Amino acid sequence: MLLLPSGLAVGLSTNRAKYHALKKQHQGTKAKHQDLYSLVDIIIRHKDASGEIKRGWTEYDYYFSGYTLADIHLLTDWSSEDKNTLRHWIKQAEQYQRIETTRQRLEPFQSKLSTLVNPAPEHLHSTLKNRIKKLAQQQAPASQWLATINNMQQTGMRKEEIIWSGLFEFLKQQQDRHISKQQLLDAINFKNIRLELSSEQITGCNNRLYFREVARQMPHQAVYRASLKLDEDCICLLRHIDDAFNYRVGLVKTRDNDHYMALNKYWFALDMYGRAINNPKTSDLYFSSSFDAMAACNRHSRKHIGLESNSCFHHQYDYITLYGGEDYREWILSLPDYQRTFFGAHFVDHNVLAHVRTTTRIDINRRRLLFIEELQSDWHQSGHMHGYDNSAWGKVANAPFKKEWPALATKLMLIHACHNGFDGIAWPGGHIQETRYAKELSPIKRHYDVEMPTTLNRLGKPFKASVTSTHIATRDPWLSLVKSKNKWRVTDRQGKFETRDRYRSRNEALAVLSRHCRNIDLKVPVFYINEKMRKRICEQGLPMFGESRL
């Protein structure tokens, strides 16, 4: 810790090193020392009532300044003396070694890694804030506001949302002052638990464009040049752009909700010159999903510009899936700005609240489904087993969504499915997870058999949508793949069938698995999205906590 001439107490945090590296496409573990500055956060220490500097590592002890060591020159509200003091301090041996530890958080091939942030969390809203906005009273004593908010719990408000909003602490500090409704709304702050949903990408994969997500309206001239032939009630929004070759994917939105194109199923693809690409299946210019439109861009780039390589999603656990499926993807749901730090077993990044692995599958009804292969939370599963403890480094830190993380992850997948033209979401029953790992997993099984269906049934009730069942084509899951030191083997995890670690690729191991596992139509739970529900979710989003009516 460093006390600056101005009296400000600052420190360094390397906890978000990989988070920053993925954002900046950092060159990796071979970087020069000063290149590591962009991975180290400047933190500001709080002081207690007596003026003593707090030295803990919770949100009550410090906060992220919003700057890294590479941004010292951007600290316009700091004096030159403060900035020079900090520059001198970070060159001392102790701080030098602290900064060097960021290399341990980076992958050897970090220069090939980047991150793609999904906008789904932006479509979550606060039920608490919405309920307060609807209250008739405009001003009241703090004690009365506290009683009103406590009473909301009787009608579906989650206590956890109230706690993490900071309102309890705010109102207790006001004693019995009169507080306006606007002051109350201004005090609600979920910044500390800001959610981010992302997927890692790796360069050097064959035959793929590198799309990043955007939300930008196309100008009239660009729509005209693309020959999309839309009427004046239609708006074209760009959602995915490849910066290297200028391929674009967008969605048609309408001002009139009764317009025949007022469904999120009119996607279009533009080549590098802004011309619309035909859909080979329908011979028109529209696609039913963003994935189909991006696939058309990839085909076009291979045929017309000979594209051989760019980026694809980084697959670490693609072997732990049911046979079949396409577009495998690993989703990381994190709390990047949360001060209490947790490192899980599956990912190097910090504060991963949950991770989801998905594929795209077509069911027996020819519906296109976002299939959730697996959903886990190392953080809360560790907390459930060992308890939460903020007293020391290395313990399982306290965190939000203790009981609701399966529901939260499910809602984000539902939002993604609605915005990207999926007909529904499906997942394997809990018994599939037990078969996969060859052991009883009662708490985990509950996520798939109870919590996910309950969440979706509550959300779907106003739209007469509920969890039902369907069948998907796969192979009998009695065998699974295991990866060890870049070699693969096939096993039943019970010792009755197991190969050596001999296969050099996943495809080789899959060929063995397919010879010993018969084709089956597996019954799985499914939640079909009707168009009324899709429209409401796209326009209004979903509650961050709970399943209050849309």
pLDDT interval class at 393 (50, 70, 90) = low
* 308 pLDDT above the threshold of 80: no
Q: Tokens in use for 369?
A: 């489904």
Query: 201, 314 in Cβ contact below 8 A?
Result: yes
Contact 353, 378 (CB under 8 A): no
Q: Which residue has the higher pLDDT, 219 or 125?
A: 125
Q: Read off the pLDDT band of 550 (50, 70, 90).
A: very low
Q: What is the pTM of this model?
A: 0.74
- Average pLDDT on 338-350 reads 76
pLDDT band for position 203 (50/70/90)?
low
Q: Looking at 107-111, 134-138, 491-495, which range is the least confident one?
A: 107-111
Q: What is the pLDDT of residues 437-470, one digit of tens each?
A: 777 888 888 999 999 999 999 999 999 999 999 9
In this prediction, residue 187 has a pLDDT band, given cuts at 50, 70 and 90, of very high
Who wins on pLDDT, 250 or 302? 250
- Residue 97 is which amino acid? Q
DSSP tag of 155 = G
pLDDT cut 70: percent of the chain above it: 93
Specify the range with the lowest mean pLDDT, choosing from 43-52, 157-166, 459-468, 526-535: 43-52
Give the list of residues 6+ apart from residue 479 with CB closer than 8 angstroms, or none: 490, 491, 492, 497, 513, 516, 517
Determine the angle formed by the axes of helices 531-540 and 405-419, rounding to 10 degrees: 110
Joined tokens for residue 261: 């194109």
Instruction: Classify 163 as helix, strand or coil.
Output: helix
Q: What is the pLDDT of residue 436?
A: 80
What's the confidence (pLDDT) of residue 197? 93
Give 484: exposed, middle or buried? Use CB within 10 Å, 0-12, 13-18, 19+. Answer: exposed
pLDDT at 534: 93
Rg (CA), the chain: 26
Mean pLDDT of 355-363: 95
Q: What letter does residue 29 receive in the DSSP assignment? A: T
- Report how far residue 550's alpha carbon sits from residue 143's, in angstroms, rounded to the nearest whole number: 30
Q: Is the pLDDT of residue 72 over 80?
A: yes
Instruction: Report whether 550 contacts 542 (CB < 8 A).
Output: yes
Q: pLDDT: is 304 or 206 the higher one?
A: 304
Domains of the chain by residue range: 2-106, 127-189, 208-307, 313-477+517-543
Pairing of strands 124-125, 542-543: parallel
Give the count of beta carbons closer than 10 Å to the beta carbon of residue 301.
22
Quote the DSSP letter at residue 183.
H
Burial of 188 (C-beta count, 10 Å sphere; 0-12/13-18/19+): middle
Dihedral sign for Cα 60, 66, 68, 69, please: negative
Q: Average pLDDT, whole number, for the chain?
A: 87
Is 333's pLDDT higher than 90? yes
pLDDT band, residue 300 (cuts 50/70/90): confident
User: pLDDT tens, 2-46?
Assistant: 999 999 999 998 888 888 887 776 666 778 899 899 999 999 998
How far out from the chain centre does Cα 130 lie? Answer: 24
Burial environment of residue 500 by CB neighbours within 10 A (0 to 12, 13 to 18, 19 or more):
exposed
Q: How sure is the predictor about 101, in pLDDT bands with cuts at 50, 70 and 90?
A: confident
Higher pLDDT, residue 205 or 510: 510
The arithmetic mean of pLDDT across residues 97-116, rounded, is 76
105 SS3 class = helix
3 state DSSP class of 467: strand
Euclidean distance between CA atoms 40 and 114, whole angstroms? 18
128 token code pair: 């608490």
